[in-house]
Amino acid sequence: MIPLLVGGVGLSLVHALLPNHWMPLSLLAKREGWSTAMLARASVLVGTAHVASSILLGLLVGGLGIGLSGFSEGLLHALSGTVLVLLGIWVWRSGGHTHLGGGHSETHSHTHEPPKDGVSGKMLWGLALSMFLSPCVELEAYYLPASTLGWKGISLLSLTYFFVTVPAIVALALMGRKLQKLFAKKLHWLEHNEGKVTGILLILLGIFTFFAD
C-alpha cells in the first residue's frame, strides 16, 4: 500500500504543478478582482471537475484490472508494469502532458478590457467543463497496478489523487495571483520539461511494479 501511495502522491504533485492547471484561475481572479475566498472556491470547482473525470475513467481501468486478475495475477503485474513503462516512454518522447479530449486553457496573460457582468462566471464554468473533458491519461494508467490490491487499492489511489491534486491547485492558484511573474519564471522549466519528468516517474513506477509482490 505504501509504494502505491507514494507513487500516487508523486504523480498528483507533478500533475498539479503544471501552470495550465491553475494559472488561468490566477489570471481570471486578478483581472476580475476576486477575493481570496472566491478564488479558492473557483479553484476547488475546477480542480474537482478535472480530478473527477480522471478518477471516473480510472475506476473503469481499475475494474478491468481486477477482472484480469481473476485469470492470472502474475499476468496483471506484468501487464501493469509494461503499460506504465511504455506510457512513460511515450510521454517522455512526446514531451508534454497527455489529456483525453484536448488540452487545457492557455496560461499566457494578455491585456483585455473588463468583461461585462456574468462573463467571468461563464468563463469559470467553461474552464471547469474543459478540465472535466480533459482527464489525464497518466493518472488513469496508474489504476492498473493499483488494481492488484483490489478495490481497496483503487479507493486509496482515488482518495490520494483528490486530496493531493485539488488542494495543490487551490494553493498554487492563490499564490499565483500574487506571485504571477515569479511563478511563471520558476515553473517555466517544468512546463517545458513536464513530459520528461512524468515519463521518468512512470517508467520507475512501471519497473517497480514488475518486482512488486
- Any idea where the domains of the chain sit in the sequence? 2-102+132-211
pLDDT reported for residue 192: 63
- pTM here is 0.73
With a cut of 50, say whether residue 107 has pLDDT above it: no
Q: How far is CA 38 from CA 23, 123, 128, 171, in A?
A: 15, 14, 15, 13
Query: What is the DSSP code string of 112-137?
Result: -PPPPTTHHHHHHHHHHHHHHT--BH
Q: Which residues of 103-129 are buried (b: 16+ CB within 10 A; e: fewer)?
A: ebbebeeeeeeeeeeeebeebbeebbe
pLDDT in tens, 23-56: 888 888 887 888 899 999 999 999 999 999 999 9
pLDDT digits (tens, 9 = 90+) for 136-168: 877 888 898 899 889 999 999 999 999 999 999
Rg of the chain over all Cα atoms, to the nearest angstrom: 18
